[in-house]
Amino acid sequence: MFRCTFALILMSSAVGSAIAQQEATPGLQEGPLTVKPGARPTQDVQQARPSDSPLSPPQPFSDGSYPQGPGITNPKIANAVAAVYPAEGGPESGSVAPTISLIVGVDGVPVRVQLVHSGGEGCDAAAMEAVRQSTFEPGLLDGKPVPVRVVVQVAFWADKRPAIPRVLRARYGPGGHSRQYDQPPTLTRNVPAEFSNEARTRKIGGTVVISLTVTEEGLPTDLKVVKPLGAGLDEKALESVGQYRFRPAMKDGKPVAAQISVQVMFRLY
């Protein structure tokens, strides 16, 4: 019996322009999501910015919180509370990683905790609870605490290793400006991928990771395979993801293009 599933990983977003899968987030990312995510096609590494690039002072969102970016000392988890594995609904193989957005207040307390990528109902609830119980070191602007928006992932593993919350790193665009969105893309239509005849015959399974840009209209473009499987499964994954539809990322109340990665998992039973 063959089955395939998918996973999204948050990647960098760019206002009004398409971006390749840097697998970053507004640029936020740090480990593979078996899904997140964007793969997690690649681990996020903060890009260096030219030393001679003029940087504008960090600007807060309408709610007073700041994005991760130049000029901001990013929040860190001071005391991470491990999530409790659900009795049912955990990963049977590999891992799943619910992705959560939140604001770290000036007191280090997480507020406005919201799920942005599901890892399954049981894992989502456990991840949200773990994040709420964790404490953070607040972000700093000019040495003073300020509320900062971050994205946190909690990976749950089939071998039941500790599910520890972690803050995803911000990635920066040209000139060191943060490609931050207020809300990440949300999948609204998923088209399941099919096994290729060759993969069925050879009993090949695994995960194909695809990078793409979600346009302001919520359409997938610039699809590229960043982690292939071969045996015709790469083509099947591209065909499937090309038919996905999204609610676009939002920044300042307007839709913007955003880069993400998708993991398409082909499972053999």
Model pLDDT, residue 135: 93
Q: Quick one: average pLDDT of 157-186? A: 71
Confidence check: pLDDT of 107 > 90: yes
pLDDT at 235 over 90: yes
Which range has highest mean pLDDT (88-102, 168-182, 236-250)?
A: 236-250
Classify residue 125 by burial, with Cβ atoms within 10 Å: 0-12, 13-18, 19+. Answer: middle
Query: Would the pLDDT of 41 be above 90?
Result: no
Average pLDDT, the chain: 75
pLDDT at residue 37 is higher than 70: no
Nearest to 173 by CA among 60, 41, 13: 13
Task: Answer yes or no: is pLDDT of 130 > 80.
Answer: yes
Lowest mean pLDDT among 165-179, 182-196, 239-253: 165-179
* 3-state SS string for the chain: CEEEEEEEEEEEEECCCCCCCCCCCCCCCCCCCCCCCCECECCCCCCCCCCCCCCCCCCCCCCCCECCCCCEECCEEEECCCECCCCCCCCCCCEECCEEEEEECCCCCEEEEEEEECCCHHHHHHHHHHHHHCEEECEEECCEEECEEEEEEECEECCCCCECEEECCCCECHHHCECCCCECCEEEECCCCCCCHHHHHHCCCEEEEEEEEECCCCCEEEEEEEECCCCCHHHHHHHHHCCCEEECEEECCEEEEEEEEEEEEEEEC
Confidence of residue 232 (pLDDT cuts 50, 70, 90): very high
Structure tokens at 35: 């899904």
**pTM for the whole thing?**
0.49
More reliable by pLDDT, 123 or 36: 123
Q: What is the pLDDT of residue 173?
A: 43
| Across 17-41, average pLDDT | 30
**Least confident window among 54-68, 197-211, 244-258:** 54-68
Give the pLDDT band of residue 4 (cuts 50, 70, 90): low
Q: What is the mean pLDDT of residues 95-110?
A: 91
What pLDDT shows up at residue 132? 95
| Residues 6+ away with beta carbon under 8 Å from 79 | 134, 135
Q: For residue range 43-93, what is the model confidence (pLDDT) as tens digits?
A: 222 222 333 334 457 778 778 888 877 788 889 999 999 999 998 878 888
